[in-house]
């Protein structure tokens, strides 16, 4: 066995180990203590047999790296005359243990820990114990075979060189040889019994010869009797043929007599046939006349039945239309009652209230904006007055105003420059507030217009629904001509479709002044009159 490649993930101290295309010959692993040299051997043992020297008597999950949840190993081994095999194993901390064995052509030979171990032992010829005692000696186990005892050491050596296989073959051959000896003894006994039976059967053979002679004589007598029987059967057949010929002769004579009698009746038969043909022609003519009369008489009844069926269809369509109108009226009552928060009256009232609220909000925003702009103008004017030149008295504020504010400025310690800055800032704030209020006033006005338009649209729709409700409540199934005019205000698609269906079924009678019930009663009366 030659190791061609070794791969491991999360195994013992290795997070990852990849040894590919290993060369032939002796390979030495050199490194410091605890650098992972022994772990390579442990990885080979685990990849082949699913156990290591350290985990042989413990849980195999101890071979998992301390930062990993599971360990994976894969090894490629080359066997003389068989090719390269691959063994893959996986062990998880949760206790899951998986193994797969692949052949030289990549085909899966076995899957599962036990099947893989059994198949690998058949291919290699040894198990983990022989591998441990012969091919791989772990660190600190050079005297392992000596510690295990002479018997165990002898077994390992025999397994390693193949002596155990030969011994098992020898034992199997010895068992087969003993079985063949027993079968030979049984056959010898059967041969002796057969010879004795042969000696006893000699007198019986002489009797058998006499019986065969008598049997031959009986067979000859039987053949002679069969010949006599055949001749008798032939004579009987000739007698039957003669008898049949006699019967045919008598029948021929009877036929001649019947022909003579038929010739006498032929003339009368022809006359009867002519009379029968004339009567049949007269009957066919009478039948045709009767059918024509029946057809003329049945046509009004068929027309009356068709009128009854059409009247029934008209009545059914009218009843469906009436049911849909009543259903639509009930829907419109609920929609226009205003009890439901989502009904049209409730929605229209909410839109009107929203429009009034937005109108009040816009008015407040307008007044506050104007006031803010006025205050902004006052602040800006005061700031300008403090900085205007005294050489232009027509631009300066009145002296008494300056003295009033000047005294107050001296009390606050702001001075003219600070007062101008304060007044300008206040004016700017009021200007900004006024602009914001004016923008809000514009938005409130837009919302008010939208609410007013929605309220008007809902009011218009409510008026249309109320007119439709009035038309539905006033509808009565009367004359067909008045149905369309009575439902002219109804906009429901189902009602309009039912009305179109009624007009299609009624056809030319759609403009009749009679109701569907009257049409049906009239058609039934006409049919009863014709059938009675």
Q: For 213-242, how does the pLDDT look when each residue is reduced to its tens digit (9 = 90+)?
A: 777 877 787 787 788 778 877 877 887 887
Which two structure tokens, joined as six digits, stand for 512?
């009749």
Q: What pLDDT score does 463 carry?
A: 76
Structure tokens at 52: 């290591």
pLDDT value at position 486?
74
Residue 415 in any domain: the answer is no
Q: Domain for residue 115, yes or no?
A: yes
Number of H helices, E strands in the chain: 13, 6
In a domain, 277, yes or no: no
Distance between alpha carbon 310 and the CA centroid of its chain, in Å? 49
Retrieve residue 323's tokens: 């049911």
* Three-state SS sequence of 267-291: HHHHHHHHHHHHHHHHHHHHHHHHH
Which residues does the chain have with pLDDT short of 70?
Answer: 54-58, 133-166, 169, 198, 201-202, 204, 256-257, 259-269, 272, 283, 286-287, 290-298, 338-349, 362, 365, 367-428, 430, 434, 437, 441, 455, 458, 462, 532
Structure token digits, residue 195: 């010879």
- Asked if the structure places residue 251 within a domain, the reply is no
Residue 13 per-residue DSSP state: T
Three-state secondary structure along 167-197? HHHHHHHHHHHHHHHHHHHHHHHHHHHHHHH
Classify residue 439: in a domain, yes or no: no
Q: How many CB atoms lie within 10 A of CB 73?
A: 26
Residues in the chain: 532
Q: What is the CATH number of the domain that holds 98?
A: 3.40.50.300
CA dihedral 118, 123, 129, 133 (to 10 degrees): -170
Question: How far apart, in whole angstroms, are the C-alpha atoms of residue 361 and residue 448?
Answer: 10
Total domains in the fold of the chain? 1
Q: Is residue 153 part of a domain?
A: no
pLDDT at 72: 95
Distance of CA 351 to the CA centre of its chain: 49
Domain annotation covers residue 416 = no
What domain range includes position 106? 2-125
- The side-by-side arrangement of strands in the sheet containing 70-79 is 14-19, 2-11, 70-79, 83-92, 97-102, 108-111
* pTM as predicted: 0.33
Tell me, yes or no, whether 176 lies in a domain.
Answer: no
**Which DSSP symbol is given to 126?**
-
Q: How far is CA 156 from CA 161, 169, 224, 291, in A?
A: 9, 18, 90, 117
Q: What is the pLDDT of residue 5?
A: 94
pLDDT in tens, 433-473: 767 767 776 777 777 777 777 767 767 776 777 777 777 77
Could you read off the pLDDT of 249-296 as tens digits, one per residue? 777 777 766 766 666 666 666 776 777 777 777 767 766 776 665 566
Closest CA to 523 of 261, 209, 216, 303: 303
- For residues 321, 325, 327, 329, the Cα torsion angle rounded to the nearest 10 degrees is 180
Q: What is the CA radius of gyration of the chain?
A: 63
Tell me the backbone φ, ψ of residue 410, rounded to 5 degrees: -65, -35
What's the rounded Cα separation, in Å, for the pair 33 and 37? 8
């Amino acid at each position: 066995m030659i190791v061609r490649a070794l791969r491991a993930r999360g195994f013992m101290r290795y997070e990852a180990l990849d040894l590919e295309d290993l060369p032939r010959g002796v390979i030495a692993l050199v490194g410091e203590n605890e650098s992972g040299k022994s772990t390579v051997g442990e990885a080979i043992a685990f990849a082949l047999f699913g156990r290591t020297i350290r985990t042989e008597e413990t849980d195999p999950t101890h071979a998992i790296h301390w930062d990993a949840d599971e360990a994976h190993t894969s090894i490629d081994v080359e066997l003389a005359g068989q090719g390269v095999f691959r063994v893959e194993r996986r062990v998880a901390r949760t206790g899951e243990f998986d193994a797969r064995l692949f052949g030289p052509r990549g085909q899966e030979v076995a899957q599962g820990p036990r099947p893989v171990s059994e198949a690998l032992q058949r291919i290699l010829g040894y198990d983990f114990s022989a591998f441990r005692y012969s091919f791989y000696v772990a660190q600190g186990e050079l005297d392992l075979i000596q510690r295990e005892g002479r018997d165990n050491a002898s077994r390992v050596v025999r397994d390693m060189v193949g002596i155990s296989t030969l011994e098992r073959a020898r034992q199997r051959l010895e068992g087969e040889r003993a079985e063949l000896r027993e079968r030979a003894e049984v056959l010898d006994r059967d041969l002796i019994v057969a010879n004795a039976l042969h000696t006893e059967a000699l007198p019986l053979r002489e009797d058998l010869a006499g019986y065969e002679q008598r049997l031959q004589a009986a067979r000859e007598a039987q053949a002679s009797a069969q010949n006599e029987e055949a001749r008798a059967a032939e004579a009987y057949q000739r007698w039957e043929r003669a008898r049949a010929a006699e019967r045919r002769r008598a029948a021929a004579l009877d036929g001649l007599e019947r022909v003579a009698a038929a010739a006498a009746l032929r003339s009368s038969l022809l006359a009867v046939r002519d009379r029968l043909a004339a009567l049949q022609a007269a009957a066919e003519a009478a039948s045709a006349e009767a059918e024509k009369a029946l057809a003329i008489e049945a046509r009004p009844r068929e027309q009356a039945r068709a009128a009854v069926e059409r009247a029934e269809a008209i009545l059914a369509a009218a009843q469906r239309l009436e049911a849909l109108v009543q259903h639509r009226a009930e829907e419109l009552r609920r929609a226009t009652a205003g009890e439901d928060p989502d009904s049209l009256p409730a929605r229209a009232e909410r839109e009107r209230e929203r429009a009034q609220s937005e109108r009040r909000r816009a008015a407040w925003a307008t007044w506050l904006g104007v006031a803010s702009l006025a205050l902004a103008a006052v602040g800006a004017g005061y700031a300008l007055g403090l900085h205007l030149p005294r050489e232009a008295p027509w631009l300066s504020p009145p002296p008494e105003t300056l003295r009033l504010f000047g005294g107050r400025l001296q009390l606050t310690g702001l001075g003219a420059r600070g007062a101008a800055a304060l007044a300008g800032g206040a004016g700017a704030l009021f200007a900004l507030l006024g602009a914001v209020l004016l923008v809000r006033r514009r938005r409130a006005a837009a919302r008010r217009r939208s609410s007013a338009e929605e309220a008007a649209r809902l009011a218009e729709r409510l008026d249309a629904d109320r007119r439709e409700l009035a038309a539905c409540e006033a509808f009565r199934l009367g004359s067909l001509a008045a149905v369309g005019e009575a439902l002219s205000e109804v906009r429901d698609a189902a009602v309009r479709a039912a009305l179109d269906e009624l007009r299609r079924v009624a056809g030319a009678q759609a403009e009749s002044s009679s109701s569907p019930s009257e049409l049906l009663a009239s058609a039934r009366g006409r049919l009863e009159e014709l059938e009675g």
